[in-house]
Structure formats: structure tokens, C-alpha cells
Amino acid sequence: MFLLIGSLALADLLAGLGLVANFAVRYLLRPPSEAAELAAAGLLLAAFSASVCSLLAITVDRYLSLYNALTYHSERTLGFTCAMVLLMWLLCLGVGLLPLLGWNCLRDQSSCSILRPVTKDNAAVLAVTFLLLFALMMQLYLQICKIAFRHAQQIAVQHQFIATAQATSTRKGLSTLSLILGTFALCWIPFAIYSLVADSSYPAVYTYSLALPATCNSLINPIIYAFRNPDIQKSLWLACCGCIPSTFSSRPRTSSDV
């Protein structure tokens, strides 16, 4: 789990740097450089792809940890997780290389999208792919909610009472998932839809005003996990203060701690 969150944090950091680099290359670099423009666009595509894929990987990890609660943590090894993260990053780097491999409009300015130098057709493919991934994440989150509530009900029936710690854990996990999903939708969907309908003739201020929330999502994601995940909070306290506050609960972790 921490490895996936680290991947998300790295991707979000690169996404912010990529947006700054893209802006600098397009509006501050004189004379303009095609190589720099392609490199900045590639960095932005790779970083945003890695951010979305990392969030999807976290969603899948949480779903599987609930669906196969008894065996998942024993079957999943660190080596397997590292291999999956490495494969994901290689795939995202491949997406970042697309502008250099011909997915650009430098020879035909009329075909440019708002994501210059990506063409309108290619930008539409990327936007549709993003919306499909978002739909998949939403479906997984709904399944997580159902499984978490079912686990809580089963525990309550077995013990003839409402298990307070389990119920609290379930509610907190679901609220975290809802917060992440809602923030992701608010920050990304307007930009994805705008990419489908707009072209390079639209004012650049519209593009950057919608890209800014998507970049802010890259900042918000690590903050949400840092303040909602008890294990990360403990690690931060140990790193910064060398101690763990007594207010932290010592209860064992459960499958509902999403």
C-alpha cells in the first residue's frame, strides 16, 4: 500500500513540474524549440498517466484486500508489487514518448488540440481513455462500499452487537474513498470533457484554468492519504518528532481500513 501511495506522490510531483515546464516552454522560451516542446508535453502526459494509474492501482489493491481479506495480504509479495509498479511506470513512460513518436501537430498546426503539440484526434483518445478509467474506479469504489458494509454486518451478527471499532473503521474508510473519488472527479472531468470539444483556436487561458484544478488534485491526493491513513500519520510523527502521540489507537488493522 505504501509503495502505491509513494508512486502516486511521485507522479503528482512530476505532474506539477510538467505543467510548469509546459507553460515555460510555450510562453517563456525564446526562440521556441520543438524538441523542448515535445519533451515538456511528454513529461506532462507521462506524469498525469502515472498519477491516474497509481490511483487506479490503489483502488484495485483496496478492492482485492477486502474481496480476498483472508488470503490477499499473505499472497501479495513486495516483489510482485514492485514489479507491477515498475510495469505501470514503463507503460506511462511509453505514453509520454508518444509526442516524440509522431503524436504531434508540429507539421500541421490546424490539427493541434488544446494539449499542443498533441493532435485533436489523439487528445480525444486520451480523454476517452481517462473517462473509461474513471468509470472503472467508480465501479470498484462502489464494490468496496458494498463489501465493507457486508463485512461490518457479518461481524455485528456474529457477535450479537454492533462492533464499534469495526463500524468506525468502515465509516472512516468509506469517507476517505468518497473524498478521493469526489476530488478526482471535480478536478479532472471538466478538463477531460474540454479536451474533447475544444481545439487550439480556443484561448489558452481556458485551458490553463481547467488544467490548474487537475494539477491541484496532484497536491490534494497525498494530503488526503497523509491525514486519513493512521499508518502514514505515525510515520510522519516518527520522522518529524521522533515519537508517536498517545492519541493514536493501538487497535489492530482490519480489512475495512481502506
pLDDT in tens, 66-107: 777 667 766 677 788 889 999 999 999 999 998 888 888 888
- DSSP 3-state of 17: helix
With bands split at pLDDT 50, 70 and 90, how would you rate the model's confidence at 256?
Answer: very low
With bands split at pLDDT 50, 70 and 90, how would you rate the model's confidence at 252?
Answer: very low
Domain layout of the chain by residue ranges:
2-241
Overall pTM > 0.75: yes
Q: Express each pLDDT in 90-101 by its tens digit.
A: 999 999 998 888
2-241: which CATH architecture?
Up-down Bundle (1.20)
Average pLDDT over residues 144-150: 79
Q: What is the DSSP string of 67-103?
A: HTTTTHHHH--HHHHHHHHHHHHHHHHHHHTGGGGT-
> From CA 93, how far away is CA 100, in angstroms rounded?
12
Residue 35 burial by Cβ neighbours in a 10 Å radius (0-12, 13-18, 19+): exposed
Q: Are the C-beta atoms of 255 and 35 separated by less than 8 Å? A: no
Q: Express each pLDDT in 189-232 by its tens digit.
A: 888 888 888 877 888 788 878 888 877 877 787 677 667 666 66
Going from the C-alpha of 131 to that of each of 71, 134, 136, 137, 185, the distances in angstroms are 32, 5, 9, 10, 10
Q: Are the C-beta atoms of 245 and 234 separated by less than 8 Å? A: no
Side-chain half-sphere CA neighbours of 68 within 13 A = 9
Lowest mean pLDDT of 51-55, 114-118, 175-179, name the range.
175-179
